[in-house]
Structure 1
Amino acid sequence: MLKIKNPIEKHFEKITCYHIYFFVFIFLSKIPVYWHIMNMIFLSPPMNYTCLVPFKGKPCPCDDPDWDKSVFTQTMQTKYGIVCDQAWLVSFSQSMLYVGTLIGALLFGFLSDLFGRLSMFTLSCFWLGITGCLVIVMPTVTTYTVMRCLEGVGVGGAIVIGFVLLIEFCGTKHREMVTALYHIPINIGHISLAGMSYLMRDCDVLQLGLSLPVFLCVVIWFLVYESPKWLMDRGNIPKAAKVMQKISKFNKNNSCDTIEEEMNEFCTARDATAQTKVHFFQIFRHRKLSRNLLCMSFIYFVTGMGYYGVAQYIGTMSGDIHLNVAISGTLLIPGTLSTAFLLRLMSRRRFLMLTNFFSGVFMLAVIFIPADYPIVRMVMASIGCCFFFMSFVIVFLYSVELFPTSVRNSVLGFLSVLSRLGQIIAPPINSLNPTVAGAIFGVAAIIGAALCYPLPETKHIDLPSTLEDSKALPRTRQQMNEDIQLR
Structure 2
Amino acid sequence: MKYIIVFRYGRLMIYAVCQLIISLSGCIVAITPTFLLFCFTRFFEGAGSGGAIVAGYVLSVEFCGTDYRPTVSTFLHIASNLGLVALAGISYVLRNCDQFQLAVSVPVIFCVIIKFLLLESPKWLMDKNKKEEAIKVMEKICRFNKIPYDTVRAEIETYLSSQSDIKTQNMKFYHIFKYKSHTKNFSVMAYLYFVCGMCYYGVSQFIGKMTPKVHKNTVINGALLMLGSFVSIFVVNRFGRRPFLRTTMFLAGVFMLIVVFVPVTFKPSWVRTMFACFSNSCYYTSFIVVFLYGVELFPTNIRSSTLGVLSLMSRIGQVIGPQINALSNTAAACTFAISALIGALITFLLPETRGLTLPSTLEESHHVRFLDRVSAISTIDDRQPPNSSQAKPSNIQ
Q: Once superposed, what is the RMSD of the aligned Cα atoms?
A: 2.0
| SS state at 1:226 partner | coil
Q: Residue 299 of structure 1 is aligned with which of 189, 192, 201?
A: 192
| Partner deviation per Cα, 1:53-103 (whole Å, 9 max, x = no partner) | xxxxxxxxxxxxxxxxxxxxxxxxxxxxxxxxxxxxxxxxxxxxxxxxxxx
Q: Alpha carbons of 1:476 and 1:112: their partners in 2 closer, same or farther (altered >3 Å)? A: closer
C-alpha separation in 2, matches of 1:466 and 1:477: 17
1:205 Cα deviation after fit: 0.8
Partner of 2:53: 159
What's 1:322 paired with?
A: 215
Residues 391-434 of structure 1 deviation map (CA, whole Å, 9 limit, x = unaligned): 00100001111111111111111100101111111122222222
Give the partner amino acid of 2:71.
Answer: M
Assess if the C-alpha contact under 8 Å between 2:351 and 2:372 holds in 1. Answer: no
1:180 matches 2:180: no
Q: Does the 8 A contact of 2:127 with 2:168 survive in 1? A: no
Paired with 2:376 and 2:158, the residues of 1 have a C-alpha distance of 26
Q: Percent identity, aligned pairs only?
A: 42
Cα–Cα, structure 1 residues 438 and 260, in superposed 2: closer, same or farther, change >3 Å? same
1:443 maps onto 2:299 in alignment: no
Alignment pair present for 1:342 and 2:238: no
**2:328 maps to which residue?**
433
TM value normalised by structure 2: 0.90
Relative distance call for 1:140 and 1:187 in structure 2 (3 A) is same
Aligned-residue offset at 1:217: 0.6
Equivalent pairs counted in the alignment come to 377
The list of structure 1 runs, each at least 4 consecutive aligned residues, that deviate by more than 4 angstroms after superposition, is 274-278, 475-478, 481-485
Q: CA deviation at 1:138?
A: 1.9
Displacement of 1:165 in angstroms is: 0.4
Moved more, 372-381 or 417-426: 372-381
Mapped contact 2:353–2:368 kept (Cα < 8 A): yes
Amino acid at match of 1:197: S
Q: How far apart are the structure 2 equivalents of 1:437 and 1:233?
A: 45
Residue 327 of structure 2 aligns to a residue whose secondary structure is coil
Q: Is the 8 A contact 1:301 1:420 kept in 2?
A: yes
Q: Which residue of structure 2 aligns with residue 379 of structure 1?
A: 274
TM-aligned CA deviation for residue 275 of structure 1: 5.8
Matched, 1:262 2:158: no
Structure 1 Cα separation of the partners of residues 150 and 374 of structure 2: 36
TM-score by length of 1: 0.74
Correspondence for 1:227 among 104, 114, 121: 121
2:393 is matched with which residue?
none
**Cα deviation digits, residues 225-272 of structure 1 (max 9, x gap):** 111110001111111111222333444x46223312211112213339
Are the aligned partners of 1:353 and 1:449 in contact in 2 as well (CA < 8 Å)?
Answer: yes
Distance 1:475 1:246, change over 3 A: closer
Q: Does 1:148 align with 2:42?
A: yes
Rate the CA distance shift 1:128–1:385 in 2: closer, same or farther, 3 A: same
> Quick check: 2:142–2:148 contact (8 Å CA) kept in 1?
yes
Instruction: Looking at secondary structure, tell me which structure has more helix per residue.
Output: 2
Matching of residue 465 in structure 1 with residue 370 in structure 2:
no
CA shift in 2, pair 1:475/1:322, >3 Å: farther
- Picking from 285, 292, 312, the partner of 1:390 is 285
Corresponding position of 1:367: 260
State how far apart, in whole Å, the 2-side matches of 1:230 and 1:175 are.
16
Unaligned 5+ segments in structure 1 are 1-106
Instruction: State the match for 1:242 in structure 2.
Output: 136
Query: What is the match of residue 375 of structure 2?
Result: 480
